[in-house]
Amino acid sequence: MPVAYLVVESQITDPEAFKAYMAASPAVAKAFGAEYLVRGGRMAVLEGDWQPPRLTVLRYPSFESAKAMYDSPGYTAARALRHGATACFNMVLVEGVDAPV
Phi, psi values for residue 40, rounded to 5°: 80, -135
Check pLDDT > 90 for residue 53: yes
Average pLDDT over the chain, rounded to whole?
95
* Banded pLDDT at 101 (limits 50, 70, 90): low
Total domains present in the chain: 1
- Write out the residue range of the structural domain in which residue 26 sits: 1-6+16-42+62-89
What pLDDT does residue 81 have?
Answer: 95
What single DSSP character describes residue 17?
H
Q: 53 in a domain, yes or no?
A: no
Confidence of residue 1 (pLDDT cuts 50, 70, 90): confident
Report yes or no on 77 lying in a domain: yes
Residue 56 lies in a domain: no
The yes-or-no verdict on residue 48 having pLDDT over 80 is yes
Question: Could you count the other beta carbons within 10 Å of the beta carbon of residue 91?
Answer: 12
Answer yes or no: is pLDDT of 99 > 70: no
- Torsion (CA) 52, 90, 8, 15 in degrees, nearest 10: 80
Considering the domain boundaries, does residue 55 fall inside one?
Answer: no
